[in-house]
Amino acid sequence: MTPSDVKATLSFSDGSPSIDLPLYKGSIGPDVIDIRKLYGQTGKFTYDPGFLSTASCQSTITYIDGDKGELLYRGYPIEQLATQCDFLDTCYLLLYGELPNEQKQKDFHKLVSEHTMVHEQMQFFLRGFRRDAHPMAVLTGLVGALSAFYHDSTDITNPKHRDIAAIRLIAKMPTLVAMAYKYGEGQPYVYPRNKLSYAGNFMRMMFATPCEDYEPNEVLVRAMDRIFILHADHEQNASTSTVRLCGSSGTNPFAAIAAGVACLWGPAHGGANEAALNMLEDIQRNGGVEKIGEFIKQVKDKNSSVKLMGFGHRVYKNYDPRAKLMRETCHEVLGALGLENDPLFKLAMSLEKIALEDEYFVARKLYPNVDFYSGIVQRAIGIPVSLFTAIFALARTVGWIAQLNEMIGDPEYKIGRPRQLFVGSPRRDVPPLAQR
Ligand code: SDX
């Protein structure tokens, strides 16, 4: 970051001495005011619940321009990566900062494919769950359990450990997600096949059975790969911030990623794709397009807790570029499957059109986000709704681990430890029991 020649001067109306705070410029995006010395110089904290105006770190990985609806991974626009690269190229880019050349691409694909199996003992963890356990509950447990098997790559101060742990996590997430799915289905696990592509291998582990050969549908494999690319990273979102904060204690990468999985599960975050599809199915069940007006009225009613799931975003105040690409993928997949008239897709497009013309959404700059269409694509591919967020976690693992490694690799990093505005009871003495 570059020191700006502009200073911020903080003055107080109670006559307390004012102080100058340095500003720093990034390569693109808003400048930051460095408040690291604020408490030491003024005895005051800043106050920013939800971190609406707070930069927690400096990063070189992902940049979002919320007003323009722009998303860059290491400077490359998501629209170009999603159409010209595959997910493993995107993983290489997020991890190492540049797209691989042909040789590096071959080496990286081989390296990842050689780490796709999990320890045979891992399957016994699944047996502790009910068959109808939510896949995110299973995945949170399985990812955390990985740390029990890889003591040779849990010292995050060792760059070699960080690198092998990153490869292991990226390589094993598809295997773990497929195992969680097969366990719920009561079907045998399918071992990874190293000669297949990353997305092709995942689709085979999900849908193959011992009873017949599995023939992948290349359109669906490509769609799955694009879904992975679109979900790979997204700067300091809630789950990435969780991974950074968790990892800042020096814990092992598997534990930090398990914390990210747990955070992503929430319906305000990665759980929104499951919630968005359930919302569409509810509207469909209760009358379909004719009922959209009534539903929108509920959403606008402050007394109802109904939200238009898959809409709105803390950063995007324009169309989420991933939602546009996801809608295109919807067309491709539904077309390939002869489902162009899929009622849910038509309902989603009608809902989007009506919402985008409604003052409530326009005034609040609420647009479709990545979760609005991703559920329709995954449902068409045959992914059960309850697995949508696990697939989001699979894809986001590379972003989490790239951000974690960036933090740990920064010699200035410290354990994260926010302060608070205390509004509770001042000091008081414990009364005897008879006086309580
Ligand atoms: C992801 O951060 C990331 O980058 C996340 C993510 C990633 O890749 O990591 O992009 C993935 O999590 C996408 C978001 C998925 N979540 C949803 O689709 C759930 C529905 N969306 C909302 O819960 C909400 O929009 C958030 C949580 C996404 C953003 O919330 P903010 O930024 O805290 O905004 P807010 O809740 O303060 O909303 C501002 C106003 C409020 O109305 P007023 O109080 O001003 O009258 O907009 C309203 C909100 O009630 N609002 C909505 C709404 N989202 C916001 N009203 C109806 N439906 C919605 N979806």
Count of CB atoms situated within 10 Å of the CB of 104:
14
Reply yes or no on whether the pLDDT at 120 is more than 80.
Answer: yes
Mean pLDDT calculated for residue range 51-77: 97
Residue of the nearest CA to atom 39 in ligand 1? 364
Query: Per mean pLDDT, which range of 4-8, 154-158, 350-354, 358-362 is the poorest?
Result: 154-158
Total-model pTM: 0.95
Mean pLDDT calculated for residue range 285-299: 92
pLDDT in tens, 161-197: 899 999 999 999 999 999 999 999 999 999 999 999 9
Q: Which DSSP string do the residues of 112-181 spell out, in sequence order?
A: HHTT----TTHHHHHTTS-TT--HHHHHHHHHHHHTTT-GGG--TTSHHHHHHHHHHHHHHHHHHHHHHH
Check if 134 is active-site.
no
pLDDT in tens, 378-413: 999 999 999 999 999 999 999 999 999 999 998 888
**Inter-residue contact 206 to 220 (CB < 8 Å):** no
Residue of the nearest CA to atom 56 in ligand 1? 307
Report the nearest atom of ligand 1 relative to the CA of 312.
25
Task: Identify which of 278, 300, 304, 311 to mutate to test ligand 1's pocket (most ligand atoms within 8 A of the CB).
Answer: 311
Reply yes or no on whether the pLDDT at 55 is more than 90.
Answer: yes
Tokens for 389? 């967020």
How far is 223 from 216, CA to CA, in rounded Å?
12
Enumerate residues lining ligand 1, CB below 6 A.
234, 237, 268-270, 272, 299, 307-315, 364, 366, 369-371
Which value, in Å, is the radius of gyration of the alpha carbons in the chain?
24
Report the nearest atom of ligand 1 relative to the CA of 370.
13
Query: Per mean pLDDT, which range of 146-160, 312-326, 399-413 is the poorest?
Result: 146-160
Could you give the percent of the chain with pLDDT greater than 70? 100
Reply yes or no on whether the pLDDT at 151 is more than 80.
Answer: no
In a 13 Å sphere around the CA of 404, the CA atoms on its Cβ side amount to 37
- Which uninterrupted H or E stretch holds 278? helix 272-285
Give φ, ψ of 50 to 5 degrees: 80, -5
SS3 assignment, position 35: coil
Q: Confidence class of residue 157 from pLDDT cuts 50, 70 and 90?
A: confident
pLDDT in tens, 328-341: 999 999 999 998 88
How far is 405 from 197, CA to CA, in rounded Å?
25
pLDDT in the model for residue 263:
98
pLDDT in the model for residue 23:
96
Reply yes or no on whether the pLDDT at 152 is more than 80.
Answer: no
User: What is the amino acid identity at position 40?
Assistant: G
293 CA to middle of ligand 1, Å?
20
255 CA to middle of ligand 1, Å?
28
Query: Which of 330, 225, 213 lies closest to 280, judged by CA?
Result: 330
How far is 149 from 216, CA to CA, in rounded Å?
32
pLDDT in tens, 217-247: 999 999 999 999 999 999 999 999 999 999 9
User: What is the amino acid identity at position 89?
Assistant: D
Residue of the nearest CA to atom 52 in ligand 1? 307
Mean pLDDT calculated for residue range 415-430: 97
Reply yes or no on whether the pLDDT at 153 is more than 80.
Answer: no
Tokens for 342? 């899929």
Check if 313 is active-site.
yes
**Alpha carbon of 375 to those of 295, 350, 371, 417: distances in Å?**
19, 16, 7, 36
Q: Which DSSP string do the residues of 382-395 spell out, in sequence order?
A: T--GGGHHHHHHHH
How far is 410 from 407, CA to CA, in rounded Å?
5
Q: What is the mean pLDDT of the chain?
A: 95
The order of strands in the sheet holding 76-77 is 62-65, 70-73, 76-77
Report the nearest atom of ligand 1 relative to the CA of 314.
32
Tokens for 138? 């299973």
**Alpha carbon of 264 to those of 100, 122, 127: distances in Å?**
29, 22, 24
Q: Which DSSP string do the residues of 287-314 spell out, in sequence order?
A: TGGGGHHHHHHHHH-TTS----TTB--S
Mean pLDDT calculated for residue range 28-42: 96
